[in-house]
Structures are given as C-alpha cells and as structure tokens.
Chain A
Amino acid sequence: MHNLTIAELIKGLQSKEFSSIELTQHFLDRIMTLNPAYNAVITITAENALKTAAVADKRLAAGNAPALCGVPILHKDIFCTRDVRTSCGSKMLDNFIPPYNATVVENFERDGVVVLGKTNMDEFAMGSSNETSFYGAVINPWAVDCVPGGSSGGSAAAIAARLAPGATATDTGGSIRQPAALCGITGLKPTYGRVSRWGMIAFASSLDQGGPMARTAEDCALLLHSMAGFDEKDSTCIDHEVPDYSATLGNSISGLRIGVPKEYFSEGLDVGTEQAVRVALAVLEAQGAELVEISLPNTGLSVPAYYVIAPAEASANLSRFDGVKYGYRCEDPKDLQDLYSRTRAEGFGEEVQRRILIGTYCLSAGYYDAYYGKAQQVRQLIKQDFTSAFKEIDVIMGPTCPSPAFKFGSKGDDPVAMYLEDIYTIATNLAGLPGMSVPCGMVDDKPVGLQIIGNYFDEALMLNIAHQYQQTTDWHNAVPKGIL
C-alpha cells in the first residue's frame, strides 16, 4: 500500500480494496518501525488517526465522501493542531499544545483526511538542512550521511521513506522545494496568499506560504485543492477561485514557452545537477514546449535582500516567545530582564538567535534605510524581473538547488554557504510567485530537482506541466535503497 500514490490510494479506498483503518494502521506501523532511522516524524497521533479513519470509512461507505477522505498524511510541526503539541522544531514550544487548528489542518479535517502525526523541521523553519531542529537532524532516506534539506526536511524524508503518501510543508525561501529536490519527491509552494497562514507559526510573514508535498504532481494537485482557498482570518490571503487542479493535468503542453534564466545556470551550480536539469528541459521540448533563454538580472541580489527582510520580520515575529504566556520559561528568573534573556537564550537554538540578531540590527535606528529600506527596493526590482519575463514566456525553469544532498555538518560552520542553498528558490518568495520542485535525475545516487516557477495563481499550469513530465519520466517513482 505504501508504494501507491495518493491518487491510487483514493481508488483503493473508493473501491473498498482496503479501508482507511487498514491504510492508516499500515502507515502507523511503518512509522513506528522505520521512523527511528530517519527521525522524520516527531509526534505520532495514532489514536486520533484511527478514530478519524473509522469516521472516514463510514463516509466512504455512505458514498459522496470528498476525494481525499480516508487518506493519511503528516503535518509539518509548524501547523497548529488542536490538542496536539506544535513545537515548530524548537525547545521554546516543546510544551506548547494549541487550543486551535491551523486553517490548513481544518481544511484537511473537513475533507476527512487522516493525520498520522507531525514532522520534524528546522527550528522555526530557519535552515536548509534540518540540522537546527531541537529534536535532532532528519536523515535523508537516499543517503544516510546526508541532510534531507530544510526546513520541511521531515515531511520530505517521510514521503521518500514511504512513511506517508503526502504531507504539508511551508516555504519561506525554498523550504518546500529544496527538501523535495534533495529527497526526490514533488513539492509545490503556491502563490503568496493562495493558502491561509492562520495557525501556521510565522517565520517571515510576507514570505511564508504553506503547500503540499507528495511523490507526484497529481497528488500535489489533490492536496493543494484541499489546502487552498480564501480565509477571512488571514488578511493577506487572497480571495481567488480555487480551480480543480486535477482536471487540467492531462492538458497538452505543446506550444508552452519555457523561460530558462541564464542566471540559474552560472557559477556554483553542480555539473551533474545542471546536466540533469538540461535533460529534463529537453524532455519537455520533445513534448512540444519551446525553450527561451531569458535573464533575471537581479537574481544575485535575492539572497542578500532575503537575509535582511526575513530576519527583520522574524525578529518581531519571535518576540512573543518571552516566557510570560506559554512555551519555555527559564528556571527561577531573578527579575524581568533575567526572565527574558535566559528564556530566549535557553529556548532558542543558535541559528534562530543569529537571525533574530541580524533582523534586530537591520531594523535599528541608523541602519534601517541601508538594510531594510534597501532590501525592500531590491525586492521590487526582483518582482519587476519576473513581471517582464512573464510577458514573453509561460513558465520559468531551472535547478531547484545548486547541488544534491550534502553531508551532515558540511555547511554547519558557514552560515553563508548554507544560505546559498536557496539561491534559486528565494527570488520567488520575494516576488510572491508559485514555485515547484519535481524529481528530474540522480547524481551520485542522490536525487536532483527541476524547479518550475509560474506566474501568479498559475498552479494549475505548473501541476499540468509537472504531470506531463512525470508521464514520460520515472524519477518520481524511484525508491531509496533499503526502503521496501
């Protein structure tokens, strides 16, 4: 069962080949047995999962159940789940049990989706390797000495290890696409405002966006359909019709104009990765798409701009973790100042503290214009790059990240090297555009991702292209060694 895609599981559930309880129990058993090797899941909600599965079976028996009814998934531990610990990968929230659900969680509940548990992640989604989690690093199922990518490394590794057929994830600078690429699965970061951020613990509010991860584009289409939609509880959520993403997957891509930015194939890109991506582009060309070289001249500015804006927003977003109301509180504070400084010094990990300090510095009197003000101007330039590009082409493609999965600790001492992991993904967050990663090859037995960047609200087109690609390639079906 665990090698079936969500689309196939839906067929099995609806044809009563297996029940949701059987399916759920199967994945729970796999998590119990296999997760210790990967550390991808940090909370297992077996009891709730089986209860939901029982209800789902009744709805399925009664007919007219929503498509995803009875399908088990995992939630990234950044989404608040009522009565279930939501840690955001941090000691700060190790004891935090929200009394409310994130809208995304609520939407899946409405559709009868079963939640198996919560996945590991970089602390407060700050990281590209999953090494910053309070709960320890996640192991990449493809190479046990390598990182799964981050921050949604737990979700990506869990899917690659067949611990769940799909999972939720979030992407602030590449946190869906980069781990999807490194774990050989499919992940989609929607247009900013497509998916509600209510109940999704904020890292950088103007960049954060939730999205689906699964093995195929077809499965991502099913998950996104359930996740997306207007939510009056999130002022930045956009009231834009949610199309039936599955309905257009079969469209021909003949005549599609694919922009290939020259800046995405420059210095720093691993040769094998470049090759895999070029081959993938050729496959699409063979399906009738046209490749057009384009330029996104301000690409080089995206990492510096991002590492001003994201930490600046984070420095304010994380101020609420002060030991006063909930979460971690230091032992025996001697006064208010001591409560604040020790709670935050002990409760936050090193990377989170680094970003809070960077953000605080960038917003300080005398530095604001040079850093935050400038970064916002750069953000506008990057947006304009894309706006002009989309006048000529339908989608943009390139590598998701510069190289396949790297070894644990290999970038630990150099935050800038780690930040460059997101060099191809960050610009779409700054522009608010949707981005996707699709498995497109292997380098040294490790997966490589093809990135598809769409225009605003063009998720249906992106999923259509990815699906068409996956009809003629097999990378998304590859199984890591040792996974049975």
Chain B
Amino acid sequence: MSSWETVIGLEVHVQLATKTKIFSGASTTFGAEPNTQACAIDLAMPGTLPVLNKQAVHYAVMFGLAIDAEIAKESAFERKNYFYPDLPKGYQTTQLEKPIVGRGNVEIQLADGRTKNVRIHHAHLEEDAGKSLHEGDFRHGVSGIDLNRAGTPLIEIVSEPDMSNAEEAIAFAKKLHSIVTSIGICDGEMSQGSMRFDVNVSVRRTGAAELGTRTETKNLNSFKFMEECIAKEVERQIDLIEDGGTVLQETRLYNGDTKVARSMRSKEEANDYRYFPCPDLLPVILTDETIEELRRNLPELPDARQARFVAQYGLSDYDAGILAYDSAMAAYFEVATARSGSAKLVANWTMGELAARLNSEDISIVKSPVTAEQLAGLITRIADNSISGKMAKEVFEGIWDGEGNADDIIETRDLKQVSDSGALEQIVAEVLAANQAMVDDYINTDEAKRKKKLGGFMGQIMKASKGQANPQQVNQILAKKLSELL
C-alpha cells in the first residue's frame, strides 16, 4: 500500500443580490410562481436585446477587491452555445477570454490553527439559466420550464487546485461564503441556490509530479454535501486505481439525499460550446475612479472584522472568528453588544444557546425569533444579577416562544433573583435555624472538609427562596453566618 494525495479545485457560482437581472429589468426575487419573473428578454423573444446591469458589474468588482485581485479595466461577454430548454436563447452570455476579475488570493483557517492560501484563477460575470422541472417535481409525463431564474446575475469564481482535502475545501467554501455575504453582494442562502459549488477532484500517489485525471462534480449546494461528496469521490478514485483501473475525466452529479454520485457525461460527450464575443454587448470599461470608489466603500471584510472583535471586545481569536465570519451573526452580535454592553456574555449566548436553537430548527440568524435587541435585554438582566444563569435559560425560551421581552417574562413568571441582602440574610438565618443538625455537623467537621458541607445549605436556601436567591450573595452571607457560629 502506498499513500495518496488528493488535489481539489473549486468552481463556485455566486448569485449576485441585485434587484433585477443581469440583462433585463425583471425581478430576481426567489420563490415566485413559475415564469412570473421573466420578461421578453429573459424569454429570448425575437428582436429583444440585453442591457448590462451596472450593479452586477460593481458587485463583481467588489468581490475582486475583497480578494485583492486584479480588476480588468476592460472585460467582455461571450456567447456559450448549447441547446437546453431552460436556456432560452440557446446560448449563455458569459465571460471567457476577458473576465472581469483576474488572479487573487483567499486565506483559509484550518482547525489546527494553521492558515493556507488558496489562489483564485479568475472570476467572471454570467447569467444563470432557468430551471427544468421534471417528473416528480412537475406533472406526470411532462417536463416544465421555469424561467424565473434565467438571467439572474452570477459570478463564477474559479480556484486553482490548491486544496488537498475536504477540510480545506470546506474551509475555502465557507470563507467565500463569508466574504460575499460580508460585502453584501450575495444573500448566501445556500438552500435557495445562492451559492453552488462544482468540485474538481483528482488523486495521485504521494510525491508524484503529475496530477491525476480529475472529475468534476457539479452543483453542490451545501457544505455537508460537499464534504460527503469529496470523501466518496476520493475513495472511489483510489479504489479504482488500486484495482488496476483508470479514472475517466467526466462530469458527475451527487445526490445529497440518496448519497449517491453518478456520471453525467464523459469528456468525449462534452459539448463544443463555440464561444465567440457577444455582438449585442459592448466591452465593459472600468475607470480608475469607479474602481477606487468601490474600494473606498467596500464593507469590512471577515478577517478585518475578526481582528477588530478581538481588539474592541476582548474576544478570543476563536470566538471572534466564529462571530466575524458569519456576517449576519456578526451584525447580530454587535447590535446585542451595543445594547447590553456585555460583549463576552453576548458572544457566549450567540454562539451557544442561540446558535444551537437556530441550528436545531434550521432557522437563519436573520430570522431568529429572539432578536438582537431581545437578547440584549436578557443579557442586561444577567449582567446586573437580576436573574441567574438557570433563570436566564428559562427567560430565553420564553422570548423564543414569543412571550415578550426579558423584563416582561421575568415579571410575569416572577423570576426576579433576590439580591436584597436583608431579605437574603433572613432566609439564610431561617434555614440555619431550621437545620440545627446540619449546623452542628458543619461545626464538628474538620476545617479542611467543611467546604463540602456548604452545598447542603445552598440547596435548602435555594429551595426556600424558590430559586430566586442570588447564589453569589447567598454564598457570602452563608459563609459569614457560619463563621460567626464557630
């Protein structure tokens, strides 16, 4: 047995968050009734012509600036010719020879703390196709075409084959997700197809100079599917070669539901796309002024935000990374922190309780039932000792279930922690008086072991206060009263 190396490159399709399509004025909103968001241009009606959406160009440039890439002062569109029912013109308008974004770099963070640079070959602008709805999705025996998505602006980001395992590929994919959502050019909704990944995988014996034959698995739209698919494909290729076979260059599909991958077409069956410059569109010319203005207005990038979270809020690198790389989570964190003034508590709750609940119910943080303002209200009461950690969880559940803000729930459920020292002293005194045997036992125990006996008193005191006593204060009062008895 010899050891194997894996080589992975990604092609990533990112839907740009423009209001209208790349070459028409039709809306890009997701989820409308089929064919209600396609105008004459999207339907490729005879005589219609494309007009380039400037916002899409600006978004592509912003991506280029975010990865420190060369921005082409002149880029151009070409026609990629093939027939398919969801491609109304019979060609896709895309960029080939002169893409708008040239070479760039994306740094990824790995679990062991290392970082790695993944080179970007280029990124280009293009239009999305429509969707074919086949049997099962549509009516029996009939295929349907929905052209709502046709003409949605995309950038296709093409990486160099710089990743050597699934972890790196996922880290890269997540980093791209973080960048495009942070700069606001994509909504990042993977389940709606806002980001789709084509994964190129090959294997070779460790130390081999030549790359192995690669396969391309298309259209993965979740990090989980990507991870599964890479693992399976690497295993398949190694098995194939070790059994004396060869890997065929082919395009594959992975079904995330059934966990089965299959070949879609071989290299021999590949289309000749007959690219040529699109004569309906002028070259895209960018001035230095436009590029500089976009650079000046570029929103904060994830790495910069992470560093700022460490410096400004005193978070650990790790926590800052988790919060900063998800732009929605970062925004949530900053709002809640500004309102409550307790960055660390907000960080813990956002990454802990909140993230867990959102995950288990598959809700994105922008749609969280507990708003950042509401979480801040809860954190404020934890910070000022009005409620204990245990109570806080109950209050959080209440907010989640729509019972109102933290203060309302504390009020109606009578959860307010007793921090009035007079009242606490009285409770402690009453508990000590009612449990003379425990007090005697405490006094007679060796000093070194007395601490262990405190738990018993605490339990009684909390019970007497119906759980509302501030535990830290109780500790102090109890220690004081017991020492007085010695």
Contact with B along A99-110 (1 / 0, CB 8 A): 110100000000
Task: Decide: A198 and B48 in contact? CB cutoff 8 A.
Answer: yes
The distance in angstroms between the C-alpha atoms of A365 and B274, with both chains bound, is 7
- Among B48, B49, B275, find the residue whose CB has the most chain A CB atoms closer than 10 A: B49
The B-contacting residues of A in range 257-291, CB under 8 angstroms, are none
Q: Within 8 Å of chain A (Cβ to Cβ): is B269?
A: no
Task: Decide: B46 and A232 in contact? CB cutoff 8 A.
Answer: no
Shortest CB distance A471–B (Å) = 38
Q: Within 8 Å of chain B (Cβ to Cβ): is A200?
A: yes
Contacts of B81 in A (CB 8 A): 315-316, 319, 363
Contacts of A322 in B (CB 8 A): 83, 85, 90
| In the complex with contacts A235-B281, A320-B90, A326-B276 CB distance below 8 A | no
Task: Decide: A364 and B274 in contact? CB cutoff 8 A.
Answer: yes
Instruction: Name which residue of chain B comes closest to A90, CB basis.
Output: B46
| In the complex with contacts A236-B280, A324-B145, A202-B90 CB distance below 8 A | no
Q: Within 8 Å of chain B (Cβ to Cβ): is A11?
A: no
Instruction: Name which residue of chain A comes closest to B274, CB basis.
Output: A363
Contacts of B48 in A (CB 8 A): 100, 198-199
Shortest CB distance B384–A (Å) = 60
Task: Decide: B49 and A320 in contact? CB cutoff 8 A.
Answer: no
Shortest CB distance B80–A (Å) = 10
Contact with A along B228-254 (1 / 0, CB 8 A): 000000000000000000000000000
Contact with B along A74-91 (1 / 0, CB 8 A): 000001100000101000
The dominant DSSP class at the A interface is: loop
Q: Within 8 Å of chain B (Cβ to Cβ): is A118?
A: no
Task: Decide: A205 and B280 in contact? CB cutoff 8 A.
Answer: yes
Task: Decide: B49 and A235 in contact? CB cutoff 8 A.
Answer: yes
Contacts of B282 in A (CB 8 A): 235-236
The distance in angstroms between the C-alpha atoms of A21 and B389, with both chains bound, is 88
Task: Decide: A363 and B276 in contact? CB cutoff 8 A.
Answer: yes
Task: Decide: A372 and B276 in contact? CB cutoff 8 A.
Answer: yes
Instruction: Name which residue of chain B comes closest to A361, CB basis.
Output: B274
Q: Which of A100, A315, A316, A360 contacts B45 (CB 8 A)?
A: A100
Task: Decide: A316 and B79 in contact? CB cutoff 8 A.
Answer: yes
Task: Decide: B276 and A325 in contact? CB cutoff 8 A.
Answer: no
Q: Within 8 Å of chain A (Cβ to Cβ): is B392?
A: no
Contacts of B279 in A (CB 8 A): 204-206, 236, 313
Q: Within 8 Å of chain B (Cβ to Cβ): is A340?
A: yes
The A-contacting residues of B in range 1-56, CB under 8 angstroms, are 40, 43-52
| In the complex with contacts A316-B81, A316-B276, A363-B274, A235-B51 CB distance below 8 A | yes
Shortest CB distance B97–A (Å) = 11
The distance in angstroms between the C-alpha atoms of A365 and B276, with both chains bound, is 11
Contacts of A233 in B (CB 8 A): 49, 51
Q: Within 8 Å of chain B (Cβ to Cβ): is A336?
A: yes
Q: Within 8 Å of chain A (Cβ to Cβ): is B175?
A: no
Contacts of B188 in A (CB 8 A): none
The B-contacting residues of A in range 214-228, CB under 8 angstroms, are none
Task: Decide: A320 and B276 in contact? CB cutoff 8 A.
Answer: no
Instruction: Name which residue of chain A comes closest to B40, CB basis.
Output: A100
Contacts of B214 in A (CB 8 A): none
Contacts of B223 in A (CB 8 A): none
Shortest CB distance A376–B (Å) = 9
Contacts of A206 in B (CB 8 A): 279
Instruction: Name which residue of chain A comes closest to B39, CB basis.
Output: A100
Q: Within 8 Å of chain B (Cβ to Cβ): is A390?
A: no
Q: Within 8 Å of chain A (Cβ to Cβ): is B88?
A: yes
Q: Within 8 Å of chain A (Cβ to Cβ): is B91?
A: yes
Q: Within 8 Å of chain B (Cβ to Cβ): is A98?
A: yes
Task: Decide: A235 and B52 in contact? CB cutoff 8 A.
Answer: yes
Contact with A along B81-96 (1 / 0, CB 8 A): 1010100111100000
Task: Decide: A93 and B46 in contact? CB cutoff 8 A.
Answer: yes
The distance in angstroms between the C-alpha atoms of A203 and B414, with both chains bound, is 78
Contacts of B52 in A (CB 8 A): 235
The distance in angstroms between the C-alpha atoms of A206 and B277, with both chains bound, is 10
The distance in angstroms between the C-alpha atoms of A235 and B45, with both chains bound, is 17
The A-contacting residues of B in range 73-122, CB under 8 angstroms, are 79, 81, 83, 85, 88-91
Q: Within 8 Å of chain A (Cβ to Cβ): is B272?
A: yes
Q: Within 8 Å of chain B (Cβ to Cβ): is A189?
A: no
The distance in angstroms between the C-alpha atoms of A393 and B82, with both chains bound, is 46
Contacts of B40 in A (CB 8 A): 99-100
The distance in angstroms between the C-alpha atoms of A99 and B43, with both chains bound, is 12
Task: Decide: B47 and A316 in contact? CB cutoff 8 A.
Answer: no
| In the complex with contacts A100-B40, A316-B91, A325-B88, A234-B45 CB distance below 8 A | no
The distance in angstroms between the C-alpha atoms of A236 and B370, with both chains bound, is 52
Task: Decide: B85 and A96 in contact? CB cutoff 8 A.
Answer: no
The A-contacting residues of B in range 299-332, CB under 8 angstroms, are none
Shortest CB distance A112–B (Å) = 23
Q: Which of A93, A100, A201, A319 contacts B89 (CB 8 A)?
A: A319
- Among A93, A234, A363, find the residue whose CB has the most chain B CB atoms closer than 10 A: A363
| In the complex with contacts A316-B91, A325-B44, A198-B276 CB distance below 8 A | no
Contacts of B47 in A (CB 8 A): 79-80, 86, 98, 100, 102, 197-202
Task: Decide: B276 and A197 in contact? CB cutoff 8 A.
Answer: no
Q: Within 8 Å of chain B (Cβ to Cβ): is A31?
A: no
Shortest CB distance B43–A (Å) = 6
Q: Within 8 Å of chain B (Cβ to Cβ): is A368?
A: yes
Contacts of B88 in A (CB 8 A): 320, 324-325
| In the complex with contacts A235-B52, A313-B279, A319-B83 CB distance below 8 A | yes
Shortest CB distance A359–B (Å) = 9
Task: Decide: B83 and A340 in contact? CB cutoff 8 A.
Answer: yes
Contacts of A232 in B (CB 8 A): 51
Contacts of B43 in A (CB 8 A): 325-326
Q: Within 8 Å of chain B (Cβ to Cβ): is A41?
A: no
The distance in angstroms between the C-alpha atoms of A315 and B274, with both chains bound, is 10
The distance in angstroms between the C-alpha atoms of A58 and B77, with both chains bound, is 48
Task: Decide: B79 and A326 in contact? CB cutoff 8 A.
Answer: no
The A-contacting residues of B in range 255-298, CB under 8 angstroms, are 272, 274-276, 279-282
Shortest CB distance A329–B (Å) = 12
Contacts of B45 in A (CB 8 A): 98-100, 325-326
The distance in angstroms between the C-alpha atoms of A319 and B43, with both chains bound, is 13
Instruction: Name which residue of chain A comes closest to B280, CB basis.
Output: A205
The distance in angstroms between the C-alpha atoms of A439 and B342, with both chains bound, is 88
Task: Decide: B50 and A235 in contact? CB cutoff 8 A.
Answer: yes
Instruction: Name which residue of chain A comes closest to B46, CB basis.
Output: A201
Q: Within 8 Å of chain B (Cβ to Cβ): is A312?
A: yes
Shortest CB distance A52–B (Å) = 21
Contacts of A198 in B (CB 8 A): 47-49
Contacts of B272 in A (CB 8 A): 364-365
- Among A80, A98, A320, A365, find the residue whose CB has the most chain B CB atoms closer than 10 A: A320
The distance in angstroms between the C-alpha atoms of A325 and B85, with both chains bound, is 9
Contacts of A236 in B (CB 8 A): 279-282
Task: Decide: B274 and A235 in contact? CB cutoff 8 A.
Answer: no
Instruction: Name which residue of chain A comes closest to B51, CB basis.
Output: A235
The distance in angstroms between the C-alpha atoms of A206 and B276, with both chains bound, is 12
Instruction: Name which residue of chain A comes closest to B89, CB basis.
Output: A320
The A-contacting residues of B in range 359-410, CB under 8 angstroms, are none
Shortest CB distance B166–A (Å) = 34
Shortest CB distance A292–B (Å) = 34
Task: Decide: B91 and A319 in contact? CB cutoff 8 A.
Answer: yes
The distance in angstroms between the C-alpha atoms of A233 and B50, with both chains bound, is 7
Shortest CB distance B315–A (Å) = 49
Contacts of B91 in A (CB 8 A): 316, 319
Residue pairs across A and B with Cβ atoms less than 8 A apart, 6 shown, are A235-B280, A315-B81, A316-B91, A318-B90, A324-B88, A363-B81
- Residue numbers of B with Cβ under 8 A of A are 40, 43-52, 79, 81, 83, 85, 88-91, 145, 272, 274-276, 279-282
Leading 7 A-B pairs by shortest Cβ distance: A319-B90, A206-B279, A363-B274, A205-B279, A199-B47, A320-B44, A201-B46
Having A202-B47, A322-B85, one finds 17 other A-B pairs with CB under 8 Å, namely: A98-B47, A100-B40, A100-B48, A198-B47, A199-B47, A201-B46, A234-B51, A235-B50, A235-B280, A236-B279, A313-B276, A315-B274, A316-B89, A316-B274, A319-B83, A326-B45, A336-B85
